[in-house]
Copies of this chain bind each other. A is one copy, B any other.
Amino acid sequence: MALLAWDQNTYMPSGGHAGRGDQLGTLERIAHGRLVDPEVSRLLDSLEPWAAGEDPDSDESRLVRWVRRDHEKAARVPADLAVAMTREAAAGYAAWLEASETGEFARFRDPLARAVDLRREYAACFPDAAHPYDVLLDDFEPGMTLAEVKPLFDALVGGLAPLIEAAPEVDDVLAGDFPIAAQRALLEDVLHSVGFEDGVWRLDESPHPFALSPGPGDVRLTTRYRTADLGWSLYSGLHEFGHGLYDANHAPALRRTPLHGHASLGVHESQSRLWENVIGRGRPFSAWLLPRLREHLPAAYGGMDHATLYRGLNRVSRTLIRTEADETTYNLHVALRLDLELALLEGRLEAVDLPAAWAEGMDRMLGLEVPSDREGVLQDVHWAAGHFGYFPTYTLGNLIAAQLWEQLRADLPTVDESLERGDFAPVREWLREHVHRHGRKYTQRELLRRATRQELGVDSLLAYLDRKLRDANILA
């Protein structure tokens, strides 16, 4: 399925879309059929007494626990509902495509309302959940609940406000006129330095950058180029590299088992944001990067000093589009989406009133007027594809990245010197040891406790941002 998805987004002729949907559906049905097979239940019943006597952290014990969880979650959902969700997701995606092309929210309203209804029905299959949202969130961030996530968002929004308030406008050092060939050469140079190996990794182009690994020894990134914006290729490339490195470094012993994968989307996002923002916009990396920018793009960067570059890479700017938001304001975009999807799910907000609620939220959170639905509620595909409970994982990823980085710096006191020299091996090795190799074996919570002895919180991210904005001479 990973390869079908990669191909669909890179090289598949456009004529292949309908057939590809059928193929993915068939594989999904086969995989789902095996997961809910009563034989799996029987096998688990016979294994659990044995597993109870094993080390609870052994691969085998964990495997039994995860398969039990996956089996029971899938088996609780009637097949008709599962099929309806898949069908509506395809129809909703098509409606969203049309709506976002024409800018007409009205075309998307009814499919969105149906998607919300289906998610309520789905959540109702789990009557023990404290809140219906917990069921949805658990699909992406196993074990997390709204009761944990909501206070984190409230604290984060409160903590970010004064930073954003105080930050002055700073020039965008990644805006300009950059030949695509030079951007490509720069990105390949940077990726090879951080850990992209020929013979294992690929870099291709796609409209929406992504990373995936269709099998061991095979990691694929995509990016895209925009002449006016170097950040589109360079920083999305670093972002996807972080995802790819996580995928590439699960322990070989976990291959071809249900433990081979990611702990959660939040953990996955922590790895991409780490390379994109925490490392990629940090002081040592930007010092290492500057001579490379000068070499590949002398017209734009030949005369730039490091202070200007570092400051510009960390600018704070209130913008309308989540995917183009800077590191500091980004989480406000996510907080808005969490508020709105909760209101939809709880029935406090109807699909028809979503654009007005979006406008109100953007004004309240970022002081921005939303000129069109295309720059508002139609900018993201997630809800169209039925992904409710997905957005918070972006911010969880930022929180996790900041906490991991704090611990990594404590464990590797000379990491700044390494990064400034372009020696990325110590960082890769720390991440492999504490995060990547475990695959799905531990939950996000367990992984974070093991790596940092901390619970998830907002203090590390807020302190990190405050420190960097001062160090970059943006805040006084």
Contacts and interface: CB of A to CB of B under 8 A. Distances in A.
Given A3-B3, A4-B3, A256-B22, A218 B30 contact: no
Contacts of A52: none
B3 A200 contact: no
A53 interface: no
Interface string A195-224: 000111110100000000011111100000
A211 to B, nearest CB: 14
Interface string A320-351: 00000000000000000000000000000000
A162 interface: no
A50 interface: no
Contact of A16 (B16, B216, B256): B216
B201 A18 contact: no
A215 B17 CA distance: 9
A199 B3 contact: no
A200 B11 contact: no
A214 B13 CA distance: 11
Contacts of A15: 199-200, 216-218
B11 A202 contact: yes
A14 B199 contact: yes
A204 to B, nearest CB: 8
Given A3-B4, A3-B7, A218 B22 contact: no
A356 interface: no
Interface in A18-35: 18-20, 22-23, 30
A381 interface: no
Contacts of A17: 217
Interface string A454-468: 000000000000000
A3 B6 CA distance: 11
Which residue, A19, A23, A204, A218, has most C-beta atoms of chain B within 10 A?
Answer: A218
B256 A12 contact: no
Contact of A23 (B11, B18, B215): B215
A471 B412 CA distance: 80
A200 B3 CA distance: 19
B18 A217 contact: yes
B3 A214 contact: no
Which residue, A3, A18, A22, A199, has most C-beta atoms of chain B within 10 A?
Answer: A3
A218 B3 contact: no
Contacts of A23: 215
Given A13-B199, A13-B200, A23-B215, 12 more contacts: A3-B4, A11-B11, A13-B198, A13-B217, A13-B218, A14-B199, A15-B199, A15-B200, A15-B218, A17-B217, A20-B215, A20-B218
